[in-house]
Amino acid sequence: MAFTNVCLWTLLAFMLTWTVFYVTNRGKKATQLADAVVEEREDGATDVIIVGAGVGGSALAYALAKDGRRVHVIERDLREPERIMGEFMQPGGRLMLSKLGLEDCLEGIDAQKATGMTVYKDGKEAVASFPVDNNNFPFDPSARSFHNGRFVQRLRQKASSLPNVRLEEGTVKSLIEEKGVIKGVTYKNSAGEETTALAPLTVVCDGCYSNLRRSLNDNNAEVLSYQVGFISKNCQLEEPEKLKLIMSKPSFTMLYQISSTDVRCVFEVLPNNIPSISNGEMATFVKNTIAPQVPLKLRKIFLKGIDEGEHIKAMPTKKMTATLSEKKGVILLGDAFNMRHPAIASGMMVLLSDILILRRLLQPLSNLGNAQKISQVIKSFYDIRKPMSATVNTLGNAFSQVLVASTDEAKEAMRQGCYDYLSSGGFRTSGMMALLGGMNPRPISLIYHLCAITLSSIGHLLSPFPSPLRIWHSLRLFVGYENVGSPSQG
């Protein structure tokens, strides 16, 4: 008995000592880490330079600074941007945002909840919602729409609130290169002086008009179409939680709430047929060609912006596959790296997912000075991102092609097939909406739904009887699907 007591007391003493040692040591380690960060900050050196504080640059700066990196962000214009891009964050994007600790950037900007869309075609309409039940999605399955500039400002504020982030206004002119390794950038600061910034890692995140990309690879963006948009102010859509997608001609038209009082109206025009905005041709085109195709109950709101003389803006939509740069010490990110058609509003989601992957890969590196290791990280990053980015890119490009009106019977059948599929309800609608919302961005799901839409369109085309011409159109449809449907466009 006495022996048992001694053993028990010894064990207890041992456990107590170990616990005290563990807790003290952990505290010490945390203090050491914090000290190291402060010390590093005081020496003035930089770990990472980020060019551009748009959605990507700001989110990345926050993520890396949270890991203790000293980040210098150089942004050309720190005023609130006014753009017609990046206004709709899919549920999948919100999940990424929350994983980065940035979900609160959607608060306080009058962002609107979106639970799906209403699709209109030839006088018919159908509601398609993001699946709420049995969706295996670990987050609230709703999107948010907002003024892009307000969101970007919130991201910038959040990043620059960290002591190890330096957000500076300046325009980067070029990358500093030594023997194939990027050492930093030259830039013009807000005082107009040419200066330089050096760091072991430079991230180029300067958006879709990137000038710096050209010095890193020979990747060229293809202009697919133009999005033309304006805001109708002081109004609210019926069922504001549903984005309105109209399958109009020459391509789609959308209306969605970007604040409690503002409605974004946007439509697509094809590159060789763009009326001039400056001489008023575009406003006439909106009134005479697009507005008559907008369902009556939405038309008043659609025309409000034009009638009140709101500024019309046009923005090119581009497609560009991701390409690795041979240069060391540098990473391209965001639209400077990879673009897809914005019809599925997923650019920010892919970008935030890229940031999460990159952050995780960089975390084990205590310093970023080893260019060889950074190159390995970039190669892994490129491989790991592929399933998600290829799925979204292929979906975006396929969906946008389906939305373009055509006199070609095969293409029109596909367009009708897409509407029928989205409006059919049940598994087909919820599966497609999960895919569009980034709740299930897996290649297998994409292949399944694209095949199903193509087959049901072929069925539609061949009924009521399969004439030789219809069989020919079906074969073309199938080949057309093969072209857009291979998920390899990372």
Ligand X SMILES: Cc1cc2nc3c(=O)[nH]c(=O)nc-3n(C[C@H](O)[C@H](O)[C@H](O)COP(=O)(O)OP(=O)(O)OC[C@H]3O[C@@H](n4cnc5c(N)ncnc54)[C@H](O)[C@@H]3O)c2cc1C
Which residues of the chain form contacts with ligand X (CB under 6 A)?
Answer: 51-57, 74-77, 84-88, 93, 171-172, 205-207, 211, 227, 315, 317, 334-336, 342, 345-349, 351
Among 143, 116, 141, smallest CA distance to 129 is for 116
* Distance in Å, CB of 342 to ligand X, minimum: 4
* Distance in Å, CB of 295 to ligand X, minimum: 22
d(CA 330, CA 210): 15
208, 54 contact by CB (below 8 A): no
> Is the Cβ of residue 212 or residue 410 nearer to ligand X in the bound state?
212
d(CA 415, CA 437): 20
**Which H or E run contains 423?**
helix 409-423
* Distance in Å, CB of 344 to ligand X, minimum: 8
**Which H or E run contains 284?**
helix 281-285
d(CA 239, CA 222): 36
Amino acid making up residue 59: A
CB under 8 Å, gap of 24 or more: what pairs does 105-110 form? 105/151, 105/154, 105/155, 105/158, 106/144, 106/146, 106/151, 106/154, 108/154, 109/146, 109/147, 109/150, 109/151, 109/154, 110/146, 110/147, 110/150, 110/259, 110/260
Which strands make up the sheet holding 242-246, listed edge to edge? 124-129, 116-121, 242-246, 253-257, 263-269, 222-232, 313-319
- In the bound complex, which residue of the shown chain has the CB atom lying closest to ligand X? 54
* Distance in Å, CB of 215 to ligand X, minimum: 12
How long is the chain? 490
> Is the Cβ of residue 205 or residue 245 nearer to ligand X in the bound state?
205
227: three-class secondary structure by DSSP = strand
258: three-class secondary structure by DSSP = coil
> Is the Cβ of residue 349 or residue 422 nearer to ligand X in the bound state?
349
d(CA 115, CA 443): 24
* Distance in Å, CB of 487 to ligand X, minimum: 19
* Distance in Å, CB of 189 to ligand X, minimum: 11
Which strands make up the sheet holding 88-89, listed edge to edge? 88-89, 143-145, 112-114
> Is the Cβ of residue 73 or residue 446 nearer to ligand X in the bound state?
73
- Omega before 138 within 30 of 0, i.e. cis: no
> Is the Cβ of residue 275 or residue 316 nearer to ligand X in the bound state?
316
- Strand positions, DSSP E, 233-333: 242-246, 253-257, 263-269, 313-319, 330-332
423: Cβ contacts below 8 Å, ≥ 6 apart: 119, 124, 126, 128, 429
> Is the Cβ of residue 271 or residue 292 nearer to ligand X in the bound state?
271
* Distance in Å, CB of 117 to ligand X, minimum: 13
Q: What's the alpha-carbon Rg for the chain, to the nearest Å?
A: 26
> Is the Cβ of residue 320 or residue 414 nearer to ligand X in the bound state?
320
> Is the Cβ of residue 52 or residue 141 nearer to ligand X in the bound state?
52
> Is the Cβ of residue 74 or residue 111 nearer to ligand X in the bound state?
74
* Distance in Å, CB of 147 to ligand X, minimum: 12
* Distance in Å, CB of 14 to ligand X, minimum: 54
* Distance in Å, CB of 361 to ligand X, minimum: 19
* Distance in Å, CB of 97 to ligand X, minimum: 11
What percent helix, strand, coil does the chain show, rounded to 5?
A: 45, 20, 35
* Distance in Å, CB of 273 to ligand X, minimum: 17
> Is the Cβ of residue 56 or residue 200 nearer to ligand X in the bound state?
56
141, 437 contact by CB (below 8 A): yes
d(CA 151, CA 54): 10
> Is the Cβ of residue 51 or residue 63 nearer to ligand X in the bound state?
51
> Is the Cβ of residue 42 or residue 77 nearer to ligand X in the bound state?
77
